[in-house]
Amino acid sequence: MSNENKKQNGKPHAKNAKGTALRLLGYIAKNYKFKFSIVCLCILITAATSVASSLFIKTVISDFIEPMLKSGSTDFLPLIRAIAWMAAIFAVGIVATYLYNLFMVYISQGILKDIRDEMFVKMQKFPIKYFDTNTYGDIMSRYTNDTDALELMLCQSIPQALSTIVSSIFVFVTMLTLSVYLTLIVIAFLCLSFFLTKFVGGKSRKYFIAQQLSIGKTTGYIEEMIKGQKVIKVFNHEDKNKEGFDKINEEFCHNATQANKYANIIMPIMVNLGHVQYAVLAVVGGLLTIFGSNNLCLTGFTLMNVGTIAAFMQLSKSFAGPIGQLSQQINSVIMALAGAERIFEMMDQEPEVDNGYVTLIKAKKDKKSGELVETDDNTGVWAWKHPHHDGTTTITQLKGDVRFFDVDFGYDKEKIVLHNISLYAKPGQKVAFVGATGAGKTTITNLINRFYDLADGKIRYDGININKIKKDDLRRSIGMILQDTNLFTGTIKENIRYGNLDATDEQIFEAARLANADDFIQRLPNGYDTMLESDGSNLSQGQRQLLSIARCAVANPPVMIMDEATSSIDTHTEKLVQEGMDALMKGRTVFVIAHRLSTVQNSNVIMVLEQGRIIEKGNHEDLIKQKGKYYQLYTGNLELE
C-alpha cells in the first residue's frame, strides 16, 4: 500500500504544479479565447469600480463632509448627486462580477467536457497492459473526484484568483499614491502572510495527492467487495474484509485530516493578521496626519488627513481581503492541481502503437484475370491488402492460416512466460492447448490478437507478419469466446449486433439459431428486445455464453479463439453451448483451450503446455501412443490443476 504512495509521490509530476497549471491554461487558450477575454475585461471593470468606491470615501469626507462641517452649510444636493454617481459605478461593478462568473461557468464546464472526452478517447487506446496494472477504482476516481476538484478550481478559484491579482494591482497603485509609508506597512504584512501560506500550503499539497490516491483505493476496494459478495458470504470473509477496509479507510482519514488540517489553519491566521494590520495602519496614519502632513515626499502624493486615512484603510482591506481569500482558495487549487496531474498522467499514457499497414478489405474475383480485386460489395470474401515498398500492392485472400515461429514472450521483460513456441494452424484446423493453470495457454491466444507484443520470434497470419497488419483489422478477423462473458446494457438484439454493426435482423436471428441461443431468447418475455442489465445478470451463465457465441457468429471471423468457454457453465447447458460452439467452429481455424479433454479430442493437433513450453504435440491418437503427459492426463493419472 505504502508502495503505491511512494511511487506516486516519487514521480516528478506530483511536484509539477506549474506545468499542470500551464497545461490547463492551454485548454482555455484553445477553445475559449473570446469568452475568456470577456472574463478578463469584466474583471478589470470590477477592480476599477472597487478602487473607485474606496477612493470615494476620501472624496465624501474631504470634499463634502469636512467643508460642510466647517461652513455649516445644509445644501445636501451635491453630496446626493455624488452618491448617485457612486451607486451607478457600484451597479456596473456588480454586473461585471456577475458576467465574469457566468462566463467562467461556461468555460469551465466546457473544459471539463473536453477533458472527459479526451480521457475517454485516450483510454480506449491504452494497451491491455494499462488495465492489468491499474485498478478500476484508481481509473474511476480520475473521472470523478479528480474532475470534481478541477471543476471547483476552474469555476471558482481561477476567476477569483484573477480578480484578486488585478484588483490588488489597482489597489496597490492607488495606495502608493495615497501614502508610501502606509503602503510599506501593508507590504510587510503581505510578505508575512505569503510565507505563512506557502509554508502551510506546501505541507497540504503532499497530503492532498495522497488523499486523492486514497479515494481511488477505497473505491476500488468497495467495488471488489460488491462484485464478490457471494464469494465473501460463502467463505465468511466479512470480518477479514472489514479489517482490510479499516486499514484503507484509516489511511484515507489520515491523509484527508493532514491535508485539511494544514489548509484550515491558514484562514484564522490570515483573519487575525488582517486585524493587526488594520490597527497598525490606523495608529501610524493618525501619527502621520498629526506630525508629517506637510511632507509630501514622505507620505505620498496626497495630503494626509482623515479622509485619506479612511480611504486607505478601506483600500488596505480590499487589498488584504482578496489575498486572504486567495489563501482560502489555495485549498481548492492544491487539490485541483493534484487531480489535474493525475488526469494528465493518465492522458499521457503511451497509447497502443499501431504501425500496421496491411488492411482487411472486401474482395471479389476478377472475371477476366481470375485474381482478387477490391470491391465495395458484400461478397463475403475478405482479403489482405498489402502495399509493398516498391509501390506494388498484393491482395491475398483471408483464409485464417496462423503460424508461430519461435515465439518468446513475457508480461514483464525480466520474466519470460512463453519459450520457443512454434506451431501452425492451417485454415479450418482446430488447435487445442491443454496444460495446468498458468502454463501459458491464454497468453498464447493473447499474442495472436496482439494484445501484447512479442519479445522474440514471429507470428504470421496468412503468410503476413502480424506486426504489419493494422490492429483493428487483425482483431476484426479473430473471434473470441472467453470464460467471462461481457455483455453490455442494451437489448439482446443489440448485444448480438455488437459483433457486426451492419448485420440485418435476419442475420442476427440466424446467428442466434446457429449458436443454439434462439430457443431461450424466444422464450424470454420480450424475445430479442429483452433488456439486459448490468452484464446480463438477468440471464444464466450458460445463456450469456450462448449470446456471446451468437455475437461471434454474426461477426463471422475466419479465426476463433475459445478460452475455457464452457468452464463455468452448468452441465445441463454445457451440451447446448458445446453444440453452438461446434456449429460456429465449422470451416474456421480454431484455437481452443478446455479443461475437459473430451472437448478437444477431435482437434487436428493438441499442444500440451508446461511452464510456457510446448512439451508434446500431435493428435489424440499420437499423444496416447506417446504415453507422455497427455496420456497421463487422459487416463486420469494426472489431474489438470
Among 482, 475, 428, residue whose Cα is nearest residue 448: 475
CB of 128 to ligand ADP, least distance (A): 7
Closest CA to 226 of 315, 136, 154: 136
Distant-in-sequence, close-in-space partners of 372: CB < 8 Å, separation ≥ 6? 363, 364, 365, 366, 381, 383, 395, 396, 397
Shortest reach from residue 34's CB to ligand ADP, in Å = 48
DSSP-derived 3-state class of residue 594: coil
Give how many residues touch ligand ADP by CB under 6 A: 11
272 lines the binding site for ligand ADP (CB under 6 A): no
Neighbours of 610 (CB within 10 A): 13
Kindly compute the dihedral angle of the four CA atoms of residues 416, 419, 420, 424, in this order, to the nearest 10 degrees.
-110
Q: Which is nearer to ligand ADP, 196 or 417 (CB)?
A: 417
Q: Rounded to whole angstroms, how far apart are CA atoms 131 and 261?
A: 35
Given strand 393-397, what is the order of strands in its sheet? 372-374, 359-365, 382-387, 393-397
Nearer to Mg ion, 61 or 439 (CB): 439
Residue from 437, 486, 504, 602 that binds ligand ADP (CB under 6 A)?
437
Nearer to ligand ADP, 437 or 504 (CB): 437
Contacts (CB under 6 A) with ligand ADP, residues 414-433: 417
| CA 176 to chain CA mean position, Å | 48
- Mask of contacts with ligand ADP, 103-132, x by CB under 6 A? -----------------------------x
Residues making up the chain, counted from first to last: 641
Q: Which of the ranges 75-83, 352-360, 375-383, 440-448 carries the binding residues for ligand ADP, by CB under 6 A?
A: 440-448
Among 5, 442, 556, 626, binds Mg ion (CB under 5 A): 442
Which of these, 604, 616, 586, lies nearest to 425 by C-alpha position?
604
Q: Contact between 568 and Mg ion (CB under 5 A)? A: no
Using the structure block, give the residue that is written with the C-alpha cell 465574469: 100
Among 29-37, 344-352, 438-446, 511-519, the segment contacting Mg ion (CB under 5 A):
438-446
Which is closer to ligand ADP, CB of 403 or CB of 595?
595
Of the candidates 432, 410, 436, 414, which has an alpha carbon nearest to the alpha carbon of residue 423?
432
Say if residues 605 and 432 touch (Cβ distance below 8 Å): yes
State which of residues 160, 211, 443, 543 lies at the interface with ligand ADP (CB under 6 A).
443
Select the span of 192-200, 212-220, 405-413, 440-448 touching Mg ion (CB under 5 A).
440-448
Instruction: Measure Cα distances from 281 to 185, 188, 193, 273, 288 in Å.
Output: 7, 12, 16, 12, 10
Considering only 172, 411, 451, 634, the residue that binds ligand ADP (CB under 6 A) is 411
Which region, judged by CB under 5 A, interacts with Mg ion, from 370-378, 434-442, 455-463, 543-551? 434-442
Q: Min. distance of Cβ 456 from Mg ion in angstroms?
A: 22
- Taking CB under 6 A as the criterion, the residue among 281, 407, 421, 439 binding ligand ADP is 439
Does residue number 626 form part of the binding site for Mg ion (CB under 5 A)? no
Task: Return d(Cα 345, Cα 13) in angstroms, integer.
Answer: 8
**Contacting ligand ADP (CB under 6 A), which of 205, 385, 441, 493?**
441
Interface residue list for Mg ion (CB under 5 A): 442
Binding site for ligand ADP (CB under 6 A): 132, 411, 417, 435, 437-443
